[in-house]
Amino acid sequence: MSDSQPLIRQLLAQRECWVDVAPGKAIKFRRPLEGEMDAFFDTVGGRRVFRVRLAEVRRCAVDWRGFTEADVLGAGIGNDDPLPWDAEVFALAVGDNLDWLQACMEGLSDQIVRRLEARTDARGNSSATSAPPPAPTVGTLSI
pLDDT at 126: 55
What pLDDT digit, counting tens, does each position of 91-136 carry? 999 999 999 999 999 999 999 988 888 888 888 765 444 344 444 4
Domain ranges of the chain: 16-138
108 burial (CB, 10 Å; 0-12 / 13-18 / 19+) is buried
pLDDT at 2: 66
Average pLDDT, the chain: 86
What pLDDT digit, counting tens, does each position of 11-24 carry? 999 999 999 999 99
30 sits in which H/E element: strand 25-30
Q: Do 94 and 100 form a contact (C-beta atoms < 8 A)?
A: yes
